[in-house]
Structure 1
Amino acid sequence: MTTPSTPTPHPAVPYGTPDAPRIAVRGEAHLEVDPEIARIGITIASRGKDRRTALDDLTRRNTTALDLVKTYGDAVERLETGAFSLTPQLREHGRGERVHAHHGHVRITAELTDFTALGELTTRLADLELTRVDGPWWALRPDSPAHRRARRQAVHEAVQRAREYADALGTTLAALVELADIDAEAPRPHPAAPATRMRSMTHTATEDTVAALDLEPQRQHVHAQVNARFTMAPPQL
């Protein structure tokens, strides 16, 4: 006895039909907006003939830098300590592994929202001994309204473009079939933080107080893209 085979289901038709023609468009938006946050990297160094001296010196310099940043209150949204190292330096000449000195480093990251305070803080940090300042790196918050605006504009452009195509055929849109964020269909890695407008300042000796740096915020570019598919009323061709 032969068992009847189960019919194979037909895949969904990727295009429209004469009664419901389908139209596919892409909507894009490109915005240029002011940054919302600025990050700076602070690297503090120390050097001593023995481990304890280098560590004590590094602790003191680290505390001084942290206390300085904290004096700016609400202008500093985030303050984090990153990498820490204390490395022995061996003598280049002579027998055996004899330690000549110890070098210490600690890395701090500060995130500010007040760009007026940013220039002053950056200058004051760079004026500290054996302290290096890198940045600023400008950015938007992940939940910035600018991202939402870009997405809405991309959708509006897709609808407008589809209407124009339908109008060129003498018909109108009937229904939305699909709306897809392009990154959702083909994920792409996020680009690394831009290194533009990066400044590196190192101070190793006490000097007179210097004027605050005039830091011009870097405009941020926000992009959004969507694919949209609609059906339309059958045109009279």
Structure 2
Amino acid sequence: MDTTPTPYGTPDAPRLAVRGEAHLEVDPEIARISITISARGTDRRDALNDLTRRNTEALDLIKTYGDEVENLETGAFSISPELTKHGRGERIRAYHGRVHTTAELSDFTALGDLTTRLADLDLTRVEGPWWALRPDSPTHRHARQEAVREAVQRAREYAEALGTTLAALVELADIGADNPTPSYGYGSPAGAMRSAAYGGAPDHTEDAAPLDLEPQRQHVYAQVNARFTMNPPRLG
């Protein structure tokens, strides 16, 4: 007797194919901000020294938040000349330097305070926040499990409509799930903040009030394809 499974159903073992889907809306777990430190000067060494000093000031400020900052990374660094026409040739008018840093925080109260203090620094640009779930967040698992339960429930309803019951699970396929956005699912930034323009920081008599940031809800999706066999229904 040939017991090789067939890719289709038979009268004795009808097959049923369904899709299970889940959509969860949850609060974010982490937020990321991007910090760009700038410096400008007519002398390259002076511009570099200013950039180093401002970058150190920003990093020291971020590190005062301790474990509330889960990740801190320095990215691109650049220092480049600004050329200007001078007679028949070109001459260097100034040097521009930039350092890019990213920080991830899980404490959103600290995030609002840190963002404001960074944006208040001289020649500092702050972008973000980008809200996200951690890659190992249990929310992803819950969404997948919910999609499977939904597939089983849908299959049972089809079987009940035929006056029969499910017999066995033949196949369960993950067809792409979870939050589809790349890089931790970071969405669009909530906004961008910038400090004083070139020429030096204003003389503040007191610190700026912390930003009141409203976390962006995260959408997590999961989908599965499932195939079952049913007990033979009686069709009249």
> TM-score, normalised on structure 1?
0.90
Query: Which residue in the other structure is 2:225 paired with?
Result: 227
Return 5+ residue gaps in structure 1 as ranges: 1-10
Q: Secondary structure at the match of 1:92?
A: strand
SS in 1 for 2:171: strand
Distance in 2 (CA, whole Å) between partners of 1:203 and 1:195 is 24
User: Contact (CA 8 Å) 1:127, 1:207: kept in 2 or not?
Assistant: no
Query: What runs of 5+ residues in structure 2 fail to find an aligned partner?
Result: none
User: Structure 1 CA distance, aligned partners of 2:214 and 2:68?
Assistant: 17
Distance 1:164 1:219, change over 3 A: same
Percent identity over the alignment? 72
Amino acid at match of 2:211: L
Question: Do residues 206 (structure 1) and 202 (structure 2) align?
Answer: yes
Query: Would the aligned equivalents of 1:173 and 1:232 in 2 still touch at CA under 8 Å?
Result: yes
Corresponding residue SS for 2:195: strand
Matches within 5 A, 1:15-26: 15-26=8-19
Q: Deviations over 1:175-203 (max 9, x none)?
A: 0000000129xxx8848742142223232
Q: Is 2:176–2:222's contact at 8 Å kept on the other side of the alignment? A: no
Q: Is the 8 A contact 1:26 1:158 kept in 2?
A: yes
**Whole-angstrom distance in 1 between the partners of 2:159 and 2:165:** 5
Letter in 2 for 1:203: A
Q: Aligned-pair distance for 1:101?
A: 0.9
Q: CA deviation at 1:120?
A: 0.4
Partners of 2:182 and 2:35 lie apart in 1 by 24
1:150 aligns with 2:146: no
What RMSD in Å do the two structures reach over aligned CA positions? Answer: 1.8
What is the CA-CA distance between 1:61 and the residue it aligns to?
0.3
Corresponding residue for residue 75 of structure 1? 68
Q: Structure 1: how far apart are the matches of 2:34 and 2:182? A: 21
SS at match of 1:236: coil
Q: Distance in 2 between matches of 1:52 and 1:95?
A: 27
| Aligned-partner Cα distance in 2 for 1:25–1:235 | 18
Q: Separation in 1 of the partners of 2:159 and 2:116? A: 59
Provide the residue aligned with 1:52 in structure 2.
Answer: 45
Runs of 4 or more, structure 1, over 3 Å off, are 188-193
